[in-house]
Structure 1
Amino acid sequence: MTTGSDHALNIPAQCPVSHDFNPFGGSYQEDPAGSLRKARHEQPVFYSPLLDYYVVTRYADIKAIFRDTTSFSAALTLEPITPLREPAIQKLVEHQFDLGPFLVNEDEPIHMRRRRALAEPLNPANVRGWEQYIRDLVTRYIDKFVKKGHADLVADFMWEFPATVALKFMGVPDTEIEQARQFAVGQIMFGFGRPTEEEQVAGCDGMGQYFNHAKKLVAKLKENPDVEGWVPFAIRASQQDPDTIDDRFLVSMMMSGTSAAHETTSNAGANALLTLMRNRNMWDEICEDPSLIPNAVEECLRYSASVVAWRRLCVKSTSVAGVEIPEGAKVLVVTASGSFDDEIFDEPERFDIHRGNAKQHFAFGFGTHTCLGAPLARLEMKIVLEEMSRRLPHMRLVPDQEFEYLPNTSFRGPQNLLVEWNPADNPLPSDRP
């Protein structure tokens, strides 16, 4: 990393420039916070020529950016970080793709109006009503592998079940869940990675298909809007206030809400299980005392979040940590780095399920754009840890496995997570061969 002006770049003279920062490879994938340890302490805001983004790494600065909705817009949050090539654009045209804004990439005043109109189903009291459904679903997945003595906790468990929960919560009919789930998954590389032209075209094809499928699902739900689910709730809200919740927003809600809930919770659960397997003493503690699980969930979210960075557009020239960020600049706030800031978290690189302020993490963002689905994600993670620790306290990582992560700026979770155990030692007699 160098400091000073780079005359090939239209950046302020005092801004540090990093030609080494590469979120698509190297240590960022395995340990995004650790890869930015030096930057946090020495150059907490720097410019990345590779991305054409200003990168922000410190807790206080990230928090200030999330708070300052006047200077920083959420509008580019879902834009592909790699600009679309012409064949990919043509594929979207073929599908007549016209995705409207959603809560995550909207600014005030419409953002808060819509958020308030849609918040009721996701308040903690209402989310608790889903506990038995989620627990039954988790149980069915564990039943499939508990007697085998081995599993890939991503492929056999965490990749599928959060998508099913999300679709059910959205109000997708049971007969449509499987097809909708296939459309909903796997868009990380398209939006946040460095896809090849071929991969980009395939991503746009999938996005276009899912967009048209989401339109059909919304139309079907509008025929019977009294059923349970978040989208039916929004349809009823749209009948009362069509200016706030219109048809275009409903389709975006179906599409973006489902994909986000799947990707984030799948990765968060896998990250938590991997972290606890690597910190065996902490796993043993929650197996002995399940009351520790809620705070363990928070520490897992801090230590190994599924969302590690988010984006903002600077719409008014603003100083952050002494660096002038010009109007029109794109900003990458590395939330995972903020959650390891030693100004906030004592010994941040130590995993500790007893940490008193673990919940101050940025796993769900901060401020007016804090994730509305956080109560549901927390409940899913809590139930996963409760059921896995109850039924498979003796499981362990398969030795010498390597963990791979999709090379992208913002979403993180292992592609596989192999565990093993002796099924004869399963604590529940009904789980033994």
Structure 2
Amino acid sequence: MTSVTPGSLGELYDPLGVHMDDPYPFFARARREAPIFFSPKADAWVVTRLRDIKEVLRDGKTYSSCNSLRPLTPLSPKVQELLATGYPEVPNFVQLDGEEHRRQREPAAAAFSPEMVDATEADIVEQANALVDAIIEGGVPVDFMGAFANRLPVSVIAKLVGYPPEQHETMGNLSRKAAGIVIGLRFESEDEELDAAHAWLQYQRMVARLLHERRAEPRFDLMSGLVMTLGPEDDDAPLPLEVEALIVHIGFGLALAGHITTSALLGNGLRALLEHPEQWRLLCERPELIPSAVEEIARFDTPTLSFMRQTTTETMLARQRLPAGADVLVSLASGNHDETVFDRADEFDITRTLPTSHVVFGYGAHYCVGAPLARREIEVALSVLTSRLPGLRLVPDQQIAMRPSVSQRGPLSLHVTW
């Protein structure tokens, strides 16, 4: 392990501790004093400036995605033994580079085409209004995350993948619980870790059932596209275990990313708007600002905190030598507050025109395939919320705990009233 100087930024950085709820002041200091530093807690070099982040993300030859799903802390031996009873680990496009990455990504990209997003909008509007109906009927106060932010993206992505309506809630609950295994949540106990592993195995079986249903009877959904693209050309040929495992892992990953990031974006966004009530009032009065508000929400409190990469060779990045095989943690959240790129970077302003250089949804070959759908969901949600609940405000004096993750940032609960 690379050594660090006592009291240095590398020693101080604690992504699942003191810097979890509000990492931005620390990142601002890092960009000034040590824009690339080694963190023993992350066991990785942390990159904080936008131009360096973009260099890493666009150079897949020097910075491989092979470790992109590496947990911050190793899973316990008991959990690893349990996970071994499920599908074998096979790299999917999130962990691949080059041609194989493009081949696996293709059906997912097709499923999130502009035409698909347009066709989905009516469903998003219907679901958003139904959730607001339930909120109004239930009365105040309400946990916005449980009543709206966690539910809307689940219903959208579950239908897109191919799950019937009666399975949407189960899909959301299982995948959210299993996320700890995949995105490296901080577990409070081994029992909590084991619960997440059991949810992951249960979700694997759920994905596999849908996979076999679509292989027997394809439909116009994402799972059918994965089966047709990645499965054998002969529909009657046996499905190899490694191919089945690959489709299960991709199916899980797309469904999880399709709701957990958008849920966080909704939660972070409403929190920012209500903590800046003049911005909320402005948005209610001027709905034409919704598209720019979506971009500012995502920049100001980015739901995807960071990506992990690994060097394939010794290299120099902004005068910092990185050895071959080094893990590199690029902080999208820090990059989107880079004061050399964004004027008044720490101010929340929904009227600003953002430069196209932000990394809200990543950058380069691994740019988020679901970004257009996420944007549309947030636009619809803000339109419905501002028109139907313009008096929304945060319940005062609440403690807003964030998801304990180094890669995903969003509130666990957000209590509002009106």
- Matched-pair contact (CA < 8 Å) for 1:34–1:337: no
| CA distances 1:137-161 after superposition (whole Å, capped 9, x unpaired) | 1111100122424321111111122
Distance 1:413 1:326 in 2: 33
* 1:383 equivalenced with 2:370 (yes/no): no
The CA deviation at 1:246 is: 4.2
Query: Which position in structure 2 is the counterpart of 1:363?
Result: 360
The CA deviation at 1:384 is: 0.5
Question: Which one of the candidate residues 179, 182, 195 is aligned to 1:202?
Answer: 195
- Matched-pair contact (CA < 8 Å) for 1:62–1:333: yes
* 1:264 equivalenced with 2:281 (yes/no): no
Q: Secondary structure at the match of 1:349?
A: coil
Distance 2:97 2:335 in 1: 23
Q: Secondary structure at the match of 1:237?
A: helix
* 1:70 equivalenced with 2:61 (yes/no): yes
Rate the CA distance shift 1:173–1:223 in 2: closer, same or farther, 3 A: farther
Question: Which one of the candidate residues 239, 244, 248 is aligned to 1:247?
Answer: 244
* 1:307 equivalenced with 2:299 (yes/no): no
Q: Secondary structure at the match of 2:208?
A: helix
Question: Which one of the candidate residues 392, 398, 403 is aligned to 2:395?
Answer: 398
Q: Secondary structure at the match of 1:324?
A: strand
Distance 2:365 2:197 in 1: 30
- Matched-pair contact (CA < 8 Å) for 2:108–2:369: no
* 1:407 equivalenced with 2:398 (yes/no): no
- Matched-pair contact (CA < 8 Å) for 1:153–1:419: yes
| CA distances 1:175-200 after superposition (whole Å, capped 9, x unpaired) | 43233222211344433233233332
Equivalent pairs counted in the alignment come to 407
Rate the CA distance shift 1:406–1:12 in 2: closer, same or farther, 3 A: closer
* 1:193 equivalenced with 2:185 (yes/no): yes
Q: AA paired with 1:224?
A: E
Identity, in percent, stands at 31
Query: Which position in structure 2 is the counterpart of 1:107?
Result: 97
* 1:158 equivalenced with 2:149 (yes/no): yes
Query: Which position in structure 1 is the counterpart of 2:271?
Result: 274
Query: Which position in structure 2 is the counterpart of 1:138?
Result: 128
Question: Which one of the candidate residues 206, 217, 220 is aligned to 1:213?
Answer: 206
- TM-score by length of structure 2 reads 0.92
Distance 1:301 1:187 in 2: 24
Query: Which position in structure 2 is the counterpart of 1:431?
Result: none
- Matched-pair contact (CA < 8 Å) for 2:107–2:229: yes
* 1:293 equivalenced with 2:290 (yes/no): yes
Distance 1:33 1:309 in 2: 13
Distance 2:194 2:175 in 1: 17
The CA deviation at 1:240 is: 8.1
Q: Secondary structure at the match of 1:47?
A: strand
* 1:321 equivalenced with 2:313 (yes/no): no
Structure 1 range deviating more: 214-223 or 97-106: 97-106
What are the equivalent positions in structure 2 for 1:419-430 lying under 5 Å apart?
Answer: 419-421=416-418
Stretches of structure 1 lacking an aligned partner (at least 5 in a row): 1-8, 422-433
The CA deviation at 1:348 is: 0.1
| CA distances 1:390-409 after superposition (whole Å, capped 9, x unpaired) | 00111111111111112221
Distance 1:277 1:376 in 2: 24
Distance 2:166 2:185 in 1: 32
Q: Secondary structure at the match of 1:201?
A: helix
The CA deviation at 1:99 is: 3.8
- Matched-pair contact (CA < 8 Å) for 1:311–1:332: yes
The CA deviation at 1:232 is: 1.4
Query: Which position in structure 2 is the counterpart of 1:59?
Result: 50
Structure 1 range deviating more: 400-409 or 355-364: 355-364
- Matched-pair contact (CA < 8 Å) for 1:12–1:324: no
Stretches of structure 2 lacking an aligned partner (at least 5 in a row): none
Question: Which one of the candidate residues 402, 413, 418 is aligned to 1:416?
Answer: 413
Distance 1:175 1:154 in 2: 21
Structure 1 range deviating more: 56-65 or 399-408: 399-408
| CA distances 1:304-356 after superposition (whole Å, capped 9, x unpaired) | 11111110011111111111111111111111000000111011001111211
The CA deviation at 1:117 is: 4.2
Q: AA paired with 1:233?
A: G
The CA deviation at 1:70 is: 0.6
- Matched-pair contact (CA < 8 Å) for 2:92–2:104: no
Question: Which one of the candidate residues 208, 211, 224 is aligned to 1:232?
Answer: 224
- TM-score by length of structure 1 reads 0.89
Q: Secondary structure at the match of 2:125?
A: helix
Distance 1:275 1:10 in 2: 37
- Matched-pair contact (CA < 8 Å) for 2:9–2:30: no
- Matched-pair contact (CA < 8 Å) for 2:4–2:38: no
Rate the CA distance shift 1:390–1:300 in 2: closer, same or farther, 3 A: same
